[in-house]
Amino acid sequence: MMTARAQGVGFRSERGPILIALMLSTGLVAIDSTIVATAVPSIVRDVGGFSSFPWLFSAYLLAQAVSVPIYGKLSDMVGRKPIILTGIGLFLLGSVLCGVAWSMPALIAFRALQGLGAGAVLPVSITIAGDIYSLEERAKVQGYLASVWAVSSVVGPSLGGAFSALGIWRGIFLVNIPLCILAGWMLVRTLHEDVERARHTVDYAGAALMAASLGLLILGALQGGEAWAWDSPVSFGVFGVGAALLVAFILVERHAPEPILPSWVVSRRLLVTTALASFGVGAVMIGLTSYVPTFLEGALSVSPLVAGLALAALTLGWPLSASQAGRFYLRIGFKATGLIGISITVAGLTILALTSAVPNVALIAASCFVVGLGLGLLATPTLIAAQSSVPWNERGVVTSTNMFARSIGSALGVAVFGAVANSIYSASPGGEGNGQAVVAASGAVFLAALAAGLLTVVAVLAMPKTRAAASGNSDEERGAGTEQGADTASAGAEEPGRNR
């Protein structure tokens, strides 16, 4: 078998078609996260339901978040290929149904179906990259995948605006059809797995309890302070039932033969700290993506396009640093690289918070670019450190747990930042229509994002010191080398599955 080093990285290498398929799959999720927002006015005019339109986003995010850990476990049991193809299929079906939706409730339900597909596509794409590329190559590959988000941050709003202007908002969903078909066809043709066939016990009870408990808890975080007051009976009921189901889930998992969330995920320091770092990444990202455009539009009266381009600097900085992260972690280790990344992130957030009182488009864009550079050097090495510490049959769970932590960070970030902003709006005449209130609220949110960044520093400091043990063949890679006193990696574990 040709080694990963001999095959090289890039579109023209032997694995190039798989990389293109993974980028297309990632693009489905990336574009969908930005294209819908610009078409909301047209959607509401056509199908109505203005008061319900926030659920277009909440239903999607909720379905995506709760399904990620389940897909991760299933990919370890039956292989990556059937799971990612299932995800693409669900996303395709959801897109078609969204394109023909006849009412807002129907559109919301079909968006949830899209979210179930996205819950498989994104984490399994990253897991496949971890399977077929060696440790030295993964950061460069993550740069390729991150570049998809950078392109989507510009292409998504542009396409959404164009479809909306032409009065054909349904096209924002139907455009997914050829992308889904192409990505699925390329994966069928190019991705081949040797998975050890064994009898598995599917943890149906654990999966159902996890989905229900996390769904209610995330729902409470997303809708608290918006659809209902934080201290309302509905809020207490949602969080109370969610917490009770979470306790039931933990009890069920202790006796399940093959638990959806194995206990070792929360008992290994490396996995816990990298998940916490991912949690911080999600919180910081949602703070900027949610409030930078509002800040610029409300404070400087710039167009949505200009505000979007300023925010796009965030997703331009990320792939640039992510593609170079391998040069750092191969020399100085994962923890040191993560510390450099979070330090740059904190520096960018500090500039953003300190200068928010004097809004300036160029300065905001530069701050977002710096934050993006830092997040690329934080998210990439922490994810790869977690992936590299486990064998093939645990990598899906580890990757999905990391991605799930980022989703939880975003959900809680929305709740906390929203509460901070709303408290200022409610105390100001004119609320969100008051430019000074927008500046004050956005500045407070940026300070809260800075606090999240500082807490993430603690998580990275708590990571065990791991060396990135270079390997020429990802199929033979057994785990990251670990320095004395740190958590041991799964070196020498026999991998029951292979991607090639």
Same domain, 97 and 121: yes
Q: Classify residue 495: in a domain, yes or no.
A: no
Do residues 87 and 22 touch, judged by C-beta distance below 8 A?
no
CA dihedral 356, 360, 365, 369 (to 10 degrees): -50
Q: Classify residue 35: in a domain, yes or no.
A: yes
Same domain, 233 and 177: no
Q: Classify residue 197: in a domain, yes or no.
A: no
Structural domain containing residue 183: 1-191
Whole-number Å distance between alpha carbons of 363 and 367: 6
Q: Classify residue 496: in a domain, yes or no.
A: no
Tell me the two tokens of residue 36.
């819908």
Predicted pLDDT at 468 = 61
Same domain, 48 and 135: yes
Whole-number Å distance between alpha carbons of 219 and 217: 5
Predicted pLDDT at 465 = 82
Predicted pLDDT at 394 = 87
Same domain, 379 and 433: yes
Whole-number Å distance between alpha carbons of 274 and 399: 10
Global pTM value: 0.82
Within 13 Å and on the Cβ side, how many CA atoms surround 298? 23
Q: How many domains does the chain have?
A: 3
| Residue 473 dihedral angles phi and psi, to the nearest 5° | -135, 115
Whole-number Å distance between alpha carbons of 87 and 93: 10
Q: What is the pLDDT along the chain (500 residues), one digit of tens a residue?
A: 333 344 567 777 778 888 999 999 988 888 887 788 777 777 888 887 766 777 787 788 888 888 888 898 888 888 899 999 999 999 999 999 999 998 888 999 999 999 999 999 989 998 998 888 888 788 788 778 888 887 887 787 778 778 877 878 888 899 899 999 999 999 999 888 776 666 767 778 888 888 888 888 888 877 777 778 888 899 899 999 999 999 998 898 888 888 888 888 888 999 999 999 999 999 998 888 878 887 887 778 777 767 777 887 888 888 889 888 888 998 899 999 999 999 999 999 999 999 888 888 899 999 999 999 999 999 999 999 998 888 888 898 899 899 889 988 887 887 788 888 878 877 777 666 677 888 888 889 999 999 999 999 999 999 998 766 544 444 434 333 333 334 434 333 334 444 55
* Residue type at 315 in one-letter notation: T
Tell me the two tokens of residue 39.
């078409």
Same domain, 176 and 247: no
Predicted pLDDT at 343 = 97
Whole-number Å distance between alpha carbons of 374 and 378: 6
Same domain, 438 and 336: yes
State the burial class of residue 363 (Cβ atoms within 10 Å of its Cβ: 0-12, 13-18, 19+).
middle
Whole-number Å distance between alpha carbons of 445 and 298: 14
Q: 316 by DSSP, 3-state: which? A: helix
Q: 308 by DSSP, 3-state: which? A: helix
CATH number for the domain spanning 442: value is: 1.20.1250.20
Same domain, 187 and 208: no
Same domain, 121 and 224: no
Q: Classify residue 497: in a domain, yes or no.
A: no
Same domain, 67 and 127: yes
Reference 324, options 308, 309, 310, 344; nearest CA is 344
Q: Classify residue 376: in a domain, yes or no.
A: yes
Whole-number Å distance between alpha carbons of 319 and 202: 37
Predicted pLDDT at 491 = 35
- DSSP secondary structure of 214-244: HHHHHHHHHHBTTTB-TTSHHHHHHHHHHHH
Same domain, 283 and 400: yes
CA distances from 175 to 108, 120, 135, 353 (A): 18, 20, 35, 38
Same domain, 208 and 275: no
Q: Classify residue 500: in a domain, yes or no.
A: no
Same domain, 292 and 179: no
Do residues 210 and 66 touch, judged by C-beta distance below 8 A?
yes
Which residue, chain included where needed, has tokens 């950078």?
150
Q: Classify residue 198: in a domain, yes or no.
A: no
DSSP label at 358?
S
